[in-house]
Structure 1
Amino acid sequence: MPDTDTAYGRYVALGDSQTEGLGDGDDTTGLRGFADRLAEHLARANPGLTYANLAVRGRLAAQVHAEQLAPALALRPDLATVVAGVNDLLRPRFDADHVAHHLEAMFAALTAQGAHVATLTFPDPARISPLARPLTPRVTAVNERIREAARRHGVTVAETGHHPVVTDPRLWSRDRLHASPLGHQRIAAALAHTLGLPGADDTWSHPLPPPATPAPTGWRAATGELRWTAAFLGPWLTRRLRGRSSGDGRTAKRPKLGPVDADVPEPRSHGEQA
């Protein structure tokens, strides 16, 4: 059931690259992302809303907990989103209980201070790339623990993981690790709907219109997988083996609460990009 309490004055987003907004804009022109888009929707319903985004790309759940929770609590949010764990899924020594421990610690601290906390579940990566099939059990385990921890602390969960549309290639950037602008739009809409914000509905979960060009099959599909491995998966694995992260040396893009432009147009329906 969507939440019906929509009176928010301070929104703070915690997380990694998805919350920072990778895939929706760039580092030159600026990143937008689902958290910015959700803040815009919140501001339309809550004039005077202020917003901070503490997310930094590449962060593991433990790092989000260690680096972002205290600053978030200091900002005393009415609403907080906590989305982390994807980077953990990709590590060789993945431990679902370890990830859940850090997520639940953030849920507990924020809700104890009076914040309404929202999070989401993750889609099966094998439906996005066949090479990611070994990660399916990990995603299932994390999603189960997110739901359990959320129930214990009254956290709102946007169930984005099981809707077929979330694995439509058009919702993902070329690296298949980050949402595209359209994907970020859908994530924001899912959270807005689950929170019961005015003007939000379930159209975010509806399928997109058929693509103008059919998806490649056979050798063309196999060639595409090889190109993706060389261009994105290989470099990512190399960084991990060297103990490096895409977020090395980076800080939050919006560490302080600030006003939000509520005049940004509402996302169009049926998955059209705004």
Structure 2
Amino acid sequence: MEKNATYTSLVAVGDSFTEGMSDLLPDGSYRGWADLLAARLAERTPGFRYANLAVRGKLIGQILDEQVDAAAAMRADVVTLVGGLNDTLRPKYDAGLVLGQLEESVARLAPTCGRLVLMRSPARRGPVMERFRHRWESLFSFIDELAARHGAVVVDLYGARALGEQRMWDVDRLHLTPDGHRRVAEAVWQALGMEPADDWRAELAPHLPDGWLTRRTGDARFARQHLGPWIGRRLTGRSSGDGRPPKRPELLPYVPLPEPGDMGARREA
């Protein structure tokens, strides 16, 4: 891949990971790695355009039906596609169906963009990861196959030990912290052939583990604020993204506005 290539447009496709949860901004909206990446690319290229079609809670079939054709029509220099992990968490996971929908998504997107970026998603180490490890690793192996077949780039976040650290995950235990999102943005930046700004795989500084009471208090808060509502949505067939539009549905010029104390900042077109 050409080093320091010029990219004029980016379209991000996916679920909550790409929407930017839990990289929360003061106004209550989410930024996330895709916005951070767009800001950096926009600094290099006047008139740079960016769309983010991702919506939290979406399954890969919904991404295929609601986002893929719209993204393909934009004919961007770079398209990122991350999806399928929400499906693997469902009790009635149908691997054949999910992999087929992912394959169709890649087949539709790859011919329409200059560079398609896929990811082996990060996973928080712990009992949930162990329970779903087989599903995830099968999904990631298939993503590798799709990338080889369609000339896409794969960013291996799953293989980065630092991104599995509990400190990289928000209190909901499903979404990365702002530091995690910054690392993902850097990983994609480098995968696109840009000069590294830092080591996104760098290990975290050692720290003393939380005490028993702190852990139990955190478990109780997690169950009350996040696990309970998540189970409720599963039982009633609802999703956190129902009725929610993409945060940036059109491919428009992206002008980053600096956030206090944070270089990568939010835009306003």
What is the TM-score when the length of structure 1 is the normalising length?
0.87
The alpha carbon displacement at 1:261 in A equals 2.7
CA contact (8 A) 2:8 2:49 kept: yes
1:146-225 paired onto structure 2 within 5 Å: 146-197=143-194, 199-200=195-196, 203-211=199-207, 214-216=208-210, 221=215, 224-225=218-219
Residue 210 of structure 1: how far off its partner (Å):
2.4
> Is residue 115 of structure 1 aligned with residue 114 of structure 2?
yes
CA distance in 2, matches of 1:231, 1:185: 25
Superposition deviation, residue 239 in structure 1: 0.6
Q: Which residue of 2 aligns with 1:51?
A: 50
1:230 counterpart (216, 219, 224): 224
User: Structure 1's 124 and 118: CA in aligned 2 closer, same or farther, altered over 3 A?
Assistant: same
Deviations 1:42-73 (A, max 9, x none): 11232221000111111000100100011112
Structure 2 partner of 1:99: 98
Cα separation, 1, equivalents of 2:73 and 2:26 = 27
CA shift at 1:220, angstroms? 5.1
Cα separation, 2, equivalents of 1:54 and 1:152: 25
Shift in Å at residue 193 of structure 1?
1.0
Deviating beyond 6 angstroms after TM superposition, the runs of 4 or more aligned structure 1 residues are none
Equivalent residues in 2 for 1:24-63, closer than 5 Å: 24-25=23-24, 28-63=27-62
Verify the 8 A CA contact 2:123 2:163 in the aligned structure 1.
no
Query: In the TM superposition, what is the alpha-carbon distance from 1:114 to its structure 2 partner?
Result: 3.7
Amino acid at match of 2:232: T
Does the Cα contact within 8 Å between 1:20 and 1:55 map onto a contact in 2? yes
Could you tell me how far apart the structure 2 residues matched to 1:229 and 1:133 are? 19
Write the letter of the residue equivalent to 2:87: D
Instruction: Give, in whole Å, the separation in 1 of the partners of 2:65 and 2:94.
Output: 17
Query: Are 1:41 and 1:266, in contact at CA under 8 Å, matched by a contact in 2?
Result: no
| Distance verdict in 2 for CA 1:210–1:20, change over 3 Å | same
Distance 1:5 1:155 in 2: 18
Give SS of 1:13's match: strand
Counterpart in the other structure of 2:243: 249
Q: CA deviation at 1:141?
A: 1.1
Q: Is the 8 A contact 2:19 2:247 kept in 1?
A: yes
Q: Distance in 2 between matches of 1:262 and 1:46?
A: 12
* Residue matched to 2:267: none
Superposed CA RMSD in Å reads 2.2
TM normalised by structure 2 equals 0.88
Aligned mates of 1:110, 1:17 — CA distance in 2: 20
AA aligned to 2:242 is: D
Shift of 1:96: 3.0
* In structure 2, distance between residues paired with 1:90 and 1:26: 28
Residues 72-117 of structure 1, C-alpha deviations (whole Å, 9 max, x = no match): 1221211100011121121111133322222222222222124311
- Structure 1 residues 252-261 or 242-251, which shifts more? 252-261
Q: How many residue pairs align between the two structures?
A: 261
Residues 1:259 and 2:258 are matched in the alignment: no
The C-alpha deviation readout for 1:204-238, integer Å capped at 9, x for no partner, is: 01112223xx2225565455435423332222011
SS of alignment partner, residue 141 of structure 1: helix
Q: Displacement, 1:162? A: 1.2
CA separation in 1, counterparts of 2:161 and 2:192? 21
- Tell me, what secondary structure is at the counterpart of 2:11? strand
Could you tell me which runs of 5 or more consecutive residues in structure 2 were left unpaired when the two chains were aligned.
Answer: 265-269
